[in-house]
């Protein structure tokens, strides 16, 4: 283990809460994917697997997550199995609260992306297998530039003015996961609603039946969203719907301002 990985391991382990959702920490220098790292090593529930660099991470609906290099957080929390929608809600609340500790404007873009000023700062991937849940969270921390295809809709804590280091953010994320997994159903739903940044905004959505555009009326993190379209209201299920990245300078979820 490198000195840096050992420093992370010791600092993160020292911050664990006895009896909490996270009971052990694994830190590796590099991994293609922390999801695969956690699954192939058969880690037990309660383990958090961090990679100081993740080179081939993946996101929701088969998308790729950009190489973190030395600028981001990449971790998979191995947790007990639960309904995927509830896992997504808990992990979105945890990630948004962790980022919000450094950038108060952070919130959730349904279903589980974390945004700052309309641009994506963190993402969540939930997978279940072999009696365990694998909750992958990636956070952009120190990036000052992104690839051209991401530049219009990605951001980082550093771009938002935060000066926190990666380990500080990792510590905050572990604490936020502990807190989110201790919430009952009512407080969890209330926490999600307080962080929602999509309601009232106009977006384009990719669905199995094609692109749908409209103003988001209500967000149900466990089921989906209701969208007011030109042809009437539509309900879009969470499992098969994603927000289409905006073109040009337009950001995720630009406010729909009536004429």
Q: What pLDDT, in 10s, does the model give residues 102-116?
A: 999 999 998 889 999
Relative to beta strand 72-80, strand 47-51 is: antiparallel
Helix axes of 166-181 and 84-100: crossing angle, nearest 10 degrees: 140
Using alpha carbons, list the distances in angstroms from residue 207 to 27, 134, 216, 248, 252.
37, 25, 15, 22, 17
**Angle (CA) 38 78 16, round 5°:** 115
pTM, 2 dp = 0.87
- pLDDT (tens digit per residue) in 136-155: 999 999 988 887 777 778 89
Query: Per DSSP, what are the bridge partners of residue 48?
Result: 25, 77
Helix (H, G, I), strand (E, B) or coil at 195: helix
- pLDDT (tens digit per residue) in 182-208: 999 999 999 999 999 999 999 899 999
For residue 150, the Cα-to-chain-centroid distance in whole angstroms is 16
Relative to beta strand 64-65, strand 119-129 is: unpaired
- In this predicted structure, the answer to whether residue 211 has a pLDDT above a threshold of 80 is yes
Unique residue bearing structure tokens 């729909």: 256
Mean pLDDT of the chain: 87
Using alpha carbons, list the distances in angstroms from residue 186 to 30, 206, 218.
38, 30, 17
CB 141 within 8 A of CB 158: yes
Express as a percent the part of the chain with pLDDT over 70. Answer: 90
Helix axes of 166-181 and 3-14: crossing angle, nearest 10 degrees: 30
- In this predicted structure, the answer to whether residue 249 has a pLDDT above a threshold of 80 is no
H or E element, residue 151? helix 148-151
């Amino acid at each position: 283990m490198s000195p840096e990985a050992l420093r992370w391991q010791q600092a993160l382990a020292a911050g664990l809460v006895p009896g909490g959702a996270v009971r052990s920490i694994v830190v590796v220098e590099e991994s293609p994917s922390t999801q695969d790292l956690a699954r192939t090593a058969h880690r037990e529930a309660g383990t958090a697997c961090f990679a100081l660099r993740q080179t081939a991470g993946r996101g929701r609906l088969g998308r790729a997550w950009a190489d973190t290099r030395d600028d981001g957080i990449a971790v998979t929390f191995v947790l007990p199995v639960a309904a995927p929608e509830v896992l997504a809600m808990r992990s979105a609340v945890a990630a948004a609260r962790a980022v919000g500790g450094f950038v108060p404007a952070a919130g959730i873009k349904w279903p589980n992306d974390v945004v700052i000023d309309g641009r994506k700062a963190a993402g969540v991937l939930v997978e279940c297998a072999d009696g365990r849940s694998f909750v992958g969270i990636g956070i952009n921390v120190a990036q000052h530039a992104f690839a051209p295809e991401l530049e219009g809709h990605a951001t980082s804590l550093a771009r938002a003015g935060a000066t926190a280091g990666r380990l500080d953010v990792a510590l905050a994320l572990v604490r936020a996961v502990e807190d989110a997994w201790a919430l009952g159903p009512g407080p969890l739903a209330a926490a999600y609603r307080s962080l929602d940044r999509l309601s009232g905004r106009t977006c384009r959505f990719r669905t199995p039946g094609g692109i749908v555009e409209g103003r988001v009326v209500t967000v149900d993190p466990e089921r989906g969203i209701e969208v007011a379209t030109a042809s009437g209201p539509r309900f879009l299920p969470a499992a098969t719907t994603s927000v289409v990245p905006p073109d040009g300078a337009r950001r995720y979820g630009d406010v729909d301002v009536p004429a």
